[in-house]
Amino acid sequence: MSSEIYERMRVNPKFKELVSTRGRFAWTLSIIVLVLFYGFVLMVAYNPTALGQPVSDGSMLTVGVAAELFLFIFFWTLSALYVNRANTEFDAMTQEVIKQARREDK
């Protein structure tokens, strides 16, 4: 029974739209995080002196520390963006797909 419902969901164009939109969004954000994080790790390994420069003359804040603080905040902001969109737009689409598959069941 449930397999039939799954089959109906699979052929529903709404489902395809949900999967591709959400997948694209999630992977884009993931790639941003991975590139920035490992890029930063490689900077640490290959060019530590650049990260040790002050952000401006006389400042006690170094580029490295500023970048890390930025990454903490930026990664969390991306998370918030994803949760916000997934919990409204994507969840509404999901409910729609389930509702349509259920309706045909009757």
Partner 1 sequence: MRRLTHLVHALGLFVFCAMAYAGPPVEGAMEKQSTNWHAIIMFCIFVALSMGITYWASSRTKTTSDFYTAGGGITGLQNGLAIAGDYMSAATLLGLTALVYGKGFDGYLYMLSFFAGWPIILFLMAERLRNLGRFTFSDITAFRLDQGKVRTMAAISSLVVVCFYLIAQMVGAGQLIKLLFGLDYNIAIFGVGILMMVYVTLGGMVATTWVQIIKACMLLSGGTLAMLLAFSQFGFSFHTLMEKATAVHTLGFKLMTPGGLLSNPINAISLGLGLMFGTAGLPHILMRFFTVTDAKEARKSVLYASGFVAYFFNVIFLMGLCAILIVGQNPEFFEGGTVGGKLIGGGNMVAMHLAKAVGGDMLLGFMAAVAFATILAVVSGLALAGASAISHDIYARVIKKGTASEASEIRASKIATICLGFVAIILGILFEKQNVAFMVGLAFGVAAAANFPVLILSMFWKGLTTRGALFGGYGGLLSAVAFVVLSKSVWVDVLGYKEALFPFTQPALFAMPIAFLLAYIFSKSDSSARAKSEISAFDDQYIRGQTGFGASGASKH
Which residues of the shown chain bind partner 1 in the complex (CB under 8 A)?
2-3, 5-6, 9-10, 15, 18-19, 22, 26-27, 29-30, 33-34, 37-38, 40-42, 44-46, 48-49, 51-52, 59-62, 64-65, 68-69, 71-73, 75-76, 78-80, 82-83, 86-87, 91, 94, 97-98, 101
Amino acid at 101: A
CB of 76 to partner 1, least distance (A): 5
Q: How many CB atoms lie within 10 A of CB 89?
A: 14
- Paired strand residues for 62: 54
Q: Classify 57 as helix, strand or coil.
A: coil
CB of 104 to partner 1, least distance (A): 13
Amino acid at 13: P
CB of 6 to partner 1, least distance (A): 5
56 — alpha (psi -120 to 50), left (phi > 0) or beta?
beta
CB of 22 to partner 1, least distance (A): 8
